Structure 1
């Protein structure tokens, strides 16, 4: 990590305004900015946040919670969520700025923040943050980048979603080069872009992305834990104590490759007709998937303790997606004591190499189905992998991840001080 930071330092200044303008900003930064104990003022911009349920929203919320827990002043900028924010306490304005938003096409439960450059300029001129952290690259993120550039403030971004890869699943493959170009320009204007895995970093480097640093995602090992296993819930599924339950958690959408999961389940049924498939989540593909696999159990969207119980009450986790930047559900399943069957991508590639599950070459659909059938019919192998999974995720708690992000903030602020 130190060597990567050392390489970054010479190019940082070229990402910000000309020297004369930068000096004016430097005067506003106190000399004790180098003090490793001084709380930082962070503007964190995101276009998705709880109660929206998705991997980006939940991991951003954990980062905000962790940074505030370490004493930092985090001001959140996000789209207004009409139902949730109608009853928002007035004093939340001290920690949040809400902007207008629109529903995302085909994702109506999520909102896209509209550009708000002028409003952000006014906000940050009144109380300038030490840095701006942009978690998403939509119109609001773009506006935040413009405002930060005009004020000469450092910007750190994250690459969280493979939007360019999603396009092929919605008949928009022709848009992929345009989306890639936008994302490359966006992130290359930032001082640093954090990516969740080395494999993702290498793919982005090949596409011309610059100044990338791997910072993994965390998992809440208290919330996701085998002790929440519920026999009552298993009985609702029609599962006896020795019935293998294959679980999937995530959006029911084309990019999640759930046709393959159903195919794998059908193979498992041939080995054990009592096996169960439980899908947690909702999305545009639900009706079609129910028609394709009427015997599957569609539990809908779950959060909190209900989600934890669903994880812990299953026996193995199937993750056929090939479009993830990370895949938070993989460490969540592992922390819940589940072996995982997945392709050698994203979080699975990072976490499953020690025998905590079965990794398949990307696109090896036959191998994926065979792996599900094998684990589904060999409980001793499942239990062995579950133990390894628990050991692996023990080192991926959010406290360590937040500490790494904080260290990057301080190193990049220090690089900007003459």
Structure 2
């Protein structure tokens, strides 16, 4: 197959969507397919997937993310040059809309992805009351495509309630060789002021309003009540980083990390605090489990699928803050439970990327064989 992926975010961007799309694209190429990406950012080097870079602008209030711009004419030129057999639209911006229109004119089947709950971010960025409008726009975009893929059953059911047709679940995988407890670093822990007997709570992800970081701060206060010597580490970057650093200088801020460096940060923690309520999946939860961490999270998306509370992590009912804080206190008391951390690691072993890439390949092939490239 000749596969075109259209996305506003792609490496070297550091986020779960970018990493997922790169993994899927490279996996398809290893299976013999030809993949090209239309995106908003230049490659960091000459390796990797072939890409076309379109003009873009930063997302207001979030300079680390961009919206791409492409006209119908530009996308038709891309199609006529690359001649894709199937299109995957990963983000629902102007570039994605133009690519869907172009695919319609060339008779090319389209699969779309719902990777991010942007509609829930509006209130966090001072745009309250617009979520129903956003849902309608997203419904209109996705119902122009033959299939919509999203990473969890929770999100799939939400999309079906909105009236989006032919929704499927394409899960996520994890590199268990990279995210490995063996990467634990004594030197890194010492830089955080922690020795082997000091519990370290850690958060990895965007430092942004939609991640519910105020609860992360309160959660560590609860953790600290049980373990007064504990340390808190934030790994990531985002628009809330400077404010968080100013408000809480007692925490350690590692900034953005990638590859083996990121894996060492995970493995050098003990308990992963994940208070977000806006995930479509939550790749970081899977990475934390693979790194042998006990995860405290809300019971939806990836945590619902992966965590058996009290066995390999801890979950609280969605948006129930008192229950979440209770589970944090339980986790603090059991921060070095070797059986639980071993169980967390074991959970990841059945969740490699190979099965996800194979399913994605099958989804694209099925749409290509459909008599109609677009939904009615």
TM-score (norm 1): 0.85
Task: Answer yes or no: is 1:373 the counterpart of 2:334.
Answer: no
CA contact (8 A) 1:228 1:312 kept: yes
CA contact (8 A) 1:264 1:370 kept: no
Task: Return the match for 2:37 from 73, 76, 82.
Answer: 76
Instruction: Name whichever of 114-123 and 149-158 sits farther off.
Output: 114-123
- In angstroms, what is the RMSD of aligned CA positions? 1.9
Aligned to 1:232: 187
What is the correspondence of 1:342-357 to structure 2 with a 5 Å cutoff?
A: 342-353=297-308, 355-357=311-313
CA contact (8 A) 1:341 1:358 kept: yes
Aligned to 1:248: 203
User: 1:127 Cα deviation (Å)?
Assistant: 4.1
Q: Distance in 2 between matches of 1:167 and 1:374?
A: 33
CA contact (8 A) 1:158 1:194 kept: yes
Gaps of 5+ in 2: none
CA contact (8 A) 2:142 2:164 kept: yes
Task: Answer yes or no: is 1:100 the counterpart of 2:55.
Answer: yes
Task: Return the match for 2:137 from 179, 182, 201.
Answer: 182
Aligned to 1:136: 91
Q: Distance in 2 between matches of 1:292 and 1:266?
A: 14
Task: Answer yes or no: is 1:295 the counterpart of 2:241.
Answer: no
User: 1:353 Cα deviation (Å)?
Assistant: 3.1
Counterpart secondary structure, 1:173: coil
Task: Return the match for 2:160 from 185, 194, 205.
Answer: 205
Gaps of 5+ in 1: 1-39
User: 1:384 Cα deviation (Å)?
Assistant: 2.2
What is the correspondence of 1:245-394 to structure 2 with a 5 Å cutoff?
A: 245-353=200-308, 355-379=311-335, 382-394=337-349
Q: Distance in 2 between matches of 1:251 and 1:80?
A: 19
What is the correspondence of 1:154-173 to structure 2 with a 5 Å cutoff?
A: 154-173=109-128
User: 1:110 Cα deviation (Å)?
Assistant: 2.2
1:178-201 deviations in Å (ceiling 9; x for gaps) = 211111111111100111111111
Aligned to 1:56: 17
CA contact (8 A) 1:338 1:386 kept: yes
User: 1:160 Cα deviation (Å)?
Assistant: 0.3
Aligned to 1:215: 170
CA contact (8 A) 2:12 2:41 kept: no
User: 1:138 Cα deviation (Å)?
Assistant: 0.8
Aligned to 1:10: none
Counterpart secondary structure, 1:416: coil
Q: Distance in 2 between matches of 1:211 and 1:196?
A: 14
Structure number with higher helix proportion: 1
CA contact (8 A) 1:121 1:147 kept: yes
CA contact (8 A) 1:99 1:116 kept: no
CA contact (8 A) 1:244 1:377 kept: no
Structure 1 segments of 4+ aligned residues over 4 angstroms from their partners: none
1:127-178 deviations in Å (ceiling 9; x for gaps) = 4211001111111111111100111110001100001111111121222122
Larger CA Rg, structure 1 vs 2: 1
Counterpart secondary structure, 1:96: strand
Q: What is the aligned length? A: 372
Counterpart secondary structure, 2:308: coil
Q: Distance in 2 between matches of 1:66 and 1:124?
A: 22
Aligned to 2:101: 146
Instruction: Name whichever of 67-76 and 264-273 sits farther off.
Output: 264-273
TM-score (norm 2): 0.95
